[in-house]
Copies of this chain bind each other. A is one copy, B any other.
């Protein structure tokens, strides 16, 4: 269904966003404290534009949100994305547990 397709691309963006160590590092940092985009850029051995793009990717994945303050843009962690990713992995974990239970049933049946 269409809903699933939307959810799919949302998850695609999410895991895609997490599949880069610079972006994972940004997520960590902005969850602990606040950073401007250039404040983040100063941390990595790459151009400002590259970091700005990373932040944009994280924002589209709801892992980060920005708030304009004067000419600066404050980057903060956004819990929503993390929750969605966790929910999927929890679901998979649940499937594993059911599988384990089924195998136990087979071993003890009859």
A-to-B contact residues, CB < 8 Å: 8-9, 11-12, 14-16, 18-21, 24, 27-28, 31-32, 77, 79, 82, 85-86, 88-90, 92-93, 95-96, 99
Assess whether B20 is in contact with A12, with CB atoms less than 8 Å apart: yes
Which residues of B lie under 8 Å from residue A21 when comparing CB positions? 8-9, 11-12
Contact partner of A92 among B11, B28, B92, B93, CB < 8 A? B28
Residue of B whose beta carbon sits closest to that of A87: B89
Which residues of B lie under 8 Å from residue A20 when comparing CB positions? 12
Residue of B whose beta carbon sits closest to that of A18: B15
Residue of B whose beta carbon sits closest to that of A79: B96
Assess whether A96 is in contact with B31, with CB atoms less than 8 Å apart: yes
